[in-house]
Amino acid sequence: MSLHGKVAVVTGSGRGLGLAYAQELARQGASVVINDVDAATADAAVKSITDAGGAAVAVVAPVGPTETAEQLVQTAVDTFGRLDILVTNAGVLRDTVLWKMSDDDFDTVIGVHLRGTFTCVRAAATYMRANEIAGRIICIGSPTGQRGNFGQTNYAAAKAGIVGMVRTWALELKKAGITANAVIPVAATAMTATVPYFAAAVEADEKGEPMPAFFRHDLGFGTSDDVAGLIAFLASDAASGVSGQAIGIGGDRLQLWSHPEAVATAYREGGWTYDALVEGFGDAVGELQSVGEKFPPLPEDLQR
């Protein structure tokens, strides 16, 4: 079930999670197209793979425009002869509360995450269908897209939209044998490094030490490498029956996220008027759904 002979494109793979994904795909035998906006970063990522005996090439371009998506696909085909796997990881952050978020803050994040995922998947799926390749589309979501997070209107919208698109693509691409899934990673990144709650875990990771069990087990929070195995699995023939899913992973934890389903249903003859809702809304729907992620208190020995 190895990836030998397969070719993958990984967007935003110069560093961090994206680099871990690319390196694991190469470790399992795939040839990889690295993507980053910085040439030195992209070249270093390629070197990390080729020095380990793998095959990789870089495309230095911003994700979002159709031209970049088409360049990524064409580079895979021109360099390695085909394209089997696409991992859409590229992203940026412009965090601020709603009333301070500018048009540019919103458009930049949506452009890279949501539009970039769309254009890259469209280009890859078009090639795969035309060449009868039962390919693998793996899109990167976030707990923020599943639950919401303070100060991340743009990012939450983009990540929720990505999961919605994945469910649609799983339906549209099924006949072609192409799978589409979303991965919801929880790992030490540049973003989590700024959150005091994760300080002990990030410090351990930076020192090359094992993260405390509280983070790895209780929170499902780990390293980039902890996520990479799922990417390689979903890219393989072993996962040919997995599609349209949102799968969480981090530390020692693997999760399958549910699709949105109605949790309460009530009927009223004649319909639900304003007065009827004022009087009976609470009884009709029961307990309301929570929003945002909720973390347990840190053990005293892990507080910073």
- Read off the CATH number of the domain in which 102 is found: 3.40.50.720
Q: Which residue has the higher pLDDT, 191 or 243?
A: 243
Q: Identify whether the C-beta of residue 143 lies closer than 8 Å to the C-beta of residue 163.
A: no
Kindly tell me if the per-residue pLDDT of 1 is higher than 60.
no
In angstroms, the Cα distances linking 156 to 149, 167, 244 are 7, 17, 19
Residue 264, amino acid: A
Q: Is 1 a domain residue?
A: no
Q: Which of 31, 127, 159, 243 is catalytic?
A: 159
What's the structural domain count of the chain?
A: 1
List the catalytic residue out of 6, 21, 31, 155. Answer: 155
**pLDDT of res. 236:** 97
The string of pLDDT tens digits covering residues 3-27 is: 999 999 999 999 999 999 999 999 9
The residue segments making up the domain with residue 15 are 7-187+223-257
Do the domain assignments include residue 173? yes
Q: How far apart are CA 302 and CA 204, in angstroms?
A: 11
Q: Is 243 left (phi over 0), alpha (psi -120 to 50) or beta?
A: beta
pLDDT in tens, 238-283: 999 999 999 999 999 999 999 999 999 999 999 999 999 999 999 9
The answer to whether 179 touches 242, Cβ cutoff 8 Å, is yes
Residues 118-131 have a mean pLDDT of 98
Instruction: Please tell me the pTM assigned to this model.
Output: 0.95
Q: In the annotation, is 2 catalytic? A: no
Q: Is 155 a catalytic residue?
A: yes
Is position 89 within any domain? yes
User: What is the average per-residue pLDDT within 181-189?
Assistant: 93
pLDDT for residue 194: 80
Cα–Cα dist 97/265, whole Å: 33
Q: Among this protein's residues, is 236 annotated catalytic? A: no
Mean pLDDT of the chain: 96
DSSP 65: S
| Kind of pairing between the strands at 56-60 and 179-185 | unpaired
184, 160 Cβ separation under 8 angstroms: no
CA 219 remoteness from chain centre: 18
Is residue 96 situated within a structural domain?
Answer: yes
State the Cα–Cα distance between residues 23 and 11, nearest whole angstrom. 13
What's residue 98's pLDDT?
97
**164 domain residue, yes or no:** yes
Q: Is residue 46 part of a domain?
A: yes
Q: For position 205, what pLDDT does the model report? A: 87
Which is the catalytic residue, given 13, 31, 142, 243?
A: 142
**282: enclosing H helix or E strand:** helix 274-285
In a domain, 94, yes or no: yes
Is there a domain that residue 276 lies in? no
Q: Which two tokens stand for residue 146?
A: 């599943």
Tokens read off for 270: 């004649």
